[in-house]
Amino acid sequence: MTHWFKMGWQDLFRHKRVTFLFIGNLAIGLIGLITIGSLENSYISYLKHSLQEILTADLMISSSRPIEQQEQKIIDTVLGDQVAVSNQIAFYSMVKGSKNSLLARIVAFDDHYPLYGAFDYPGGQSHQKTPQAMLVSPLATMSLETAETLHLKQGDSVQIGQTSFQVASLFNKAPGSDISSIELAPKIFIALSQLNKTGLLQFGSRLHYLTYYRTPKNTDTKHLAGILRETLDRHAEGASTLRVFDTHDINSRLGRIAGHFFGYMGLVGTVALFLAGIAASYLFRGYFQSRIREIAILMSLGAQRRYCILFFLFQLTIMGAMAAILAILLTSCILPSLPIIFADLLPDGLHITLHNGSMGMALGIGISCSFLFCLPELTRLKAIQPLHLLHEGSVWDSPVTASSRLLWWLSLLPAISIFLLLTVFLTSSLLQGIIFTVGVTVTMLFFGIIGRLLLTWCRHLSNSFHGLPKIAFRNLYRNRFSSLSIFITIATGVFLINLIPQLQKGLEKEFSHPIGLKIPIFFLVDIQEEQTNGLQDFFKQQSSHLSNISPMVRGRIRSINGTSFHQRSIDADDKGRGRLRRTEFNFSSRDELDPSETVIAGKKLSATPWSFQSNTPFEISVAQRFGKRYDLHIGDRILFDIQGIELEGMVTNIRKVRWNSFQPNFFLLFQKGVLENAPKTYLASVSQVSKADKQQLKEQIVSRFPNVSVIDVTSTVATLIDLTTRLTFAIKSMALLAIGAGLMALYSIAGNEAHRHSQEINLLKVLGTRFSDIRLLTVLQFGLLGCAASIFSVIISTSLSYVLSWYLFDRIWGFHIFSSIWIVLFTTLTCIITAALATRSVIRQKPVTLLH
């Protein structure tokens, strides 16, 4: 046995080129999985040790209203008297600096905030407790970036509502802001005791009441939070409007968001691994074919077939392990660049390191995949007989029996199975894993069929040309297995690269210029009812246009068709949306639907106002997304609690809403006459504002209506597009691994083919063919192959992106032709250069080698 292992080790060194290329291909395929595995494990480890700082507490209660006295008694009873408490009120408001205004999230906190974490100030200073001066004077603190936007420095004043607050300090980072996220507005902190001075606490103001709790050590906060939720729900006789969060909820939410991102990136890495496997299988096939006669000799001398199998398994184990080690070393060089690739998508304090689990996984996958990728070739050992020594034929020339063909197809199943297991593990979903595996398999089979047809066509083309093109087309057809392997790997890599830009450009176009809609410049929030006439008069004097003034009333849904809505909310959340359990929503009414809304089922709401004395329910229009989530249908009856008054309505139509219109849209619209007498605030949009007049108009609105929040829609759209671009860049960076695997496969196969046909190449030299013509032959062969693969891949990926946009993104799609052309040209040129480098040594050989 030892002798066989020694012989296998020596044989690897005798065939260094094949060994190194096999290891290199498999290593590139493993890099993606190791990188994403290390990144995900580093992120999870960061969350595990930072959850309290992220939440700034062990437990938090959030609501849109102050906690009632009876509710407070329940909270005190459940949590006990050993907890530290901090209160906070947050809301959005316009603030005015020395030169301009902006929308900010005002955070008013007490002297106990934060319970965990601290404000990080320049120079490495940090303060965990609120400065006493902020509690007694109108002082504010904000980030350096916010101060720069407002053209402020420490000691200057910022206008918040009716009061001027002095900027007491500027921080780098606030407590709880470690996790990167896209926020609507920057935060400005003031003391809770100074909040009333702003004059912004009016009826209808959208306030967010937050109460933070720090529990004693070793407290089971998850269990405690569960008891508190159940007790508050019982008190509310359904669903309490108080929402309870603990660190486990934050971990679950952030982990779920990150899981989708890392899962998709891991899937791309898995595809790269299996593209590398195609090249590895090809290399092993050539190596195995060259060893057939030696195996036949050994068997004629009495060697048992199982030792021959162990001989190759030992070699595959060594090469798989070395590929994993090389991949780990390369990944350790890549990890420092990840903060750049994933800029603003990961927390600043995240330290990315190689994870032991990822390295162990790489070693296991490297060894097992080297077996599985080459298993179809190992099944050929069954056909090897000492009789092959008596003729020039090989195993591939022997008649293929039905049993051997069945065995070869069955040998593909383990590789497909491990692919499926990896995808299920990465997506945490059996269904998604199966869909992705089937999708990739069908795509690669489709590329295989196209490639096979093109290669057959090359046979006919070789009869239509003369000279080098004739030889190029002939070689492509004669070397079908190698040509097809290159075609599939390049096409699949380009497929992944090109699929993303089409979806991205479609989303960007729909965000910034939705078809048939006009994006407003400003979105106005928290307009008081008595301010609507004044606001309309104000805009009559402006060149800009005020539109879609929509009333907004907050209320609760009690039941649907007599069934508690609270239970429906829980059932909907169990489908993967988290512990939301919402029962409070914003309602509105319209005279006419906005252009961004279309009734897709049912009839329009009646223009006749509904009467409270009517014995019939009022009519409701339900947004399609909302109706789908809560299983609402036309004719369903919904019981509402609006300002303590219970009213029943009936679903009259289902309405499709294009939320990217950035107009005042709502899940539920009521028939006229229902909300007219209810206390309400209004929303509105502003359009036809020139870029030069934007800041001046914003300043005038803030001066005349200080409580009205002005959201700059163009800035929000730019933020969304920037986020989309960053996500796309990160995904395309991983997809480049697939291209890298394809190019490595091309290099390996092209070089191996050149060595295999070195005598034919040297014969062309003897017959007078110039070196430049032989290089041109290589360029023609692999340039045609790369160009054809990229063109067909672009066509198929573009078509698929359109289908995906139709079903997933409501037909949001845009064809980015320049991106596709660039991908085709770049791929073709890269294939030519790679093939030229791979065949350079053979082309430079002297023809005298024919005599050896």
* pLDDT tens per residue across span 356-405: 777 888 888 888 888 888 888 777 776 666 655 555 544 444 555 667 67
Neighbouring C-beta atoms of residue 233, cutoff 10 Å:
17
pLDDT of residue 639 exceeding 70, the answer is: yes
Instruction: Give the pLDDT score at 72.
Output: 92
CB 733 within 8 A of CB 498: no
Instruction: Give the pLDDT score at 622.
Output: 95
Nearest to 328 by CA among 367, 356, 370: 356
Instruction: Give the pLDDT score at 75.
Output: 92
> 129-143, 304-318, 763-777 — which is least confidently predicted?
763-777
pLDDT of residue 503 exceeding 80, the answer is: no
- Characterize the bridge pairing of strands 59-63 and 208-214: antiparallel
Tell me, what DSSP letter sits at residue 303?
A: -
CA distances from 336 to 352, 353, 446, 697 (A): 8, 9, 38, 46
Average pLDDT score over the chain: 79
Nearest to 492 by CA among 739, 246, 220, 163: 739
Mean pLDDT of 2-19: 76
The pLDDT confidence band at residue 567, using thresholds 50, 70 and 90, is low
Share of the chain above pLDDT 70, in %: 78
CB 273 within 8 A of CB 367: no
The pLDDT confidence band at residue 107, using thresholds 50, 70 and 90, is very high
Instruction: Give the pLDDT score at 805.
Output: 63
Spatial separation of the C-alpha atoms in residues 842 and 760, rounded to whole Å = 11
Neighbouring C-beta atoms of residue 349, cutoff 10 Å:
11
Helix, coil or strand: residue 528: strand
The pLDDT confidence band at residue 262, using thresholds 50, 70 and 90, is confident
Spatial separation of the C-alpha atoms in residues 611 and 614, rounded to whole Å = 5
The pLDDT confidence band at residue 295, using thresholds 50, 70 and 90, is confident
Spatial separation of the C-alpha atoms in residues 650 and 30, rounded to whole Å = 57
> 329-343, 731-745, 801-815 — which is least confidently predicted?
801-815
Instruction: Give the pLDDT score at 181.
Output: 46
pLDDT of residue 97 exceeding 60, the answer is: yes
Tell me: the pLDDT tens digits for 523-552? 888 888 888 899 999 998 888 888 888 999
Instruction: Give the pLDDT score at 395.
Output: 47
Spatial separation of the C-alpha atoms in residues 830 and 672, rounded to whole Å = 65
Spatial separation of the C-alpha atoms in residues 221 and 219, rounded to whole Å = 6
Instruction: Give the pLDDT score at 654.
Output: 94
Cβ-in-10-Å burial (0-12, 13-18, 19+) of 845 comes to middle
Tell me, what DSSP letter sits at residue 606?
A: P
pLDDT of residue 576 exceeding 50, the answer is: no
pLDDT of residue 852 exceeding 70, the answer is: no
Instruction: Report which residue type is found at 275.
Output: L
The pLDDT confidence band at residue 256, using thresholds 50, 70 and 90, is low
- Long-range contacts of 528-533, Cβ-Cβ distance < 8 Å, separation of 24 or more: 528/202, 528/203, 528/204, 528/681, 528/682, 528/707, 529/679, 529/680, 529/681, 529/682, 531/682, 531/705, 531/708, 532/682
Q: 170 or 732: whose pLDDT is higher? A: 170
pLDDT of residue 592 exceeding 60, the answer is: yes
Instruction: Give the pLDDT score at 698.
Output: 85
pLDDT of residue 231 exceeding 80, the answer is: yes
Share of the chain above pLDDT 90, in %: 12
The pLDDT confidence band at residue 577, using thresholds 50, 70 and 90, is very low
pLDDT of residue 579 exceeding 50, the answer is: no
CB 528 within 8 A of CB 681: yes
The pLDDT confidence band at residue 689, using thresholds 50, 70 and 90, is confident
> 116-130, 267-281, 627-641 — which is least confidently predicted?
116-130
> 525-529, 638-642, 811-815 — which is least confidently predicted?
811-815
Of 119-128, 403-412, 565-574, 658-667, the range with the highest mean pLDDT is 658-667
> 383-387, 480-484, 761-765 — which is least confidently predicted?
383-387
CA distances from 273 to 493, 539, 640, 654 (A): 11, 60, 55, 46
The pLDDT confidence band at residue 569, using thresholds 50, 70 and 90, is low
Spatial separation of the C-alpha atoms in residues 620 and 628, rounded to whole Å = 15
Instruction: Give the pLDDT score at 636.
Output: 94
Helices (H), 463-595: 468-478, 480-512, 532-540, 565-573
Mean pLDDT of 324-330: 90
Q: Looking up tokens 């402006």, which residue turns up?
A: 542
pLDDT of residue 441 exceeding 70, the answer is: yes
Spatial separation of the C-alpha atoms in residues 368 and 380, rounded to whole Å = 19
Instruction: Report which residue type is found at 372.
Output: L
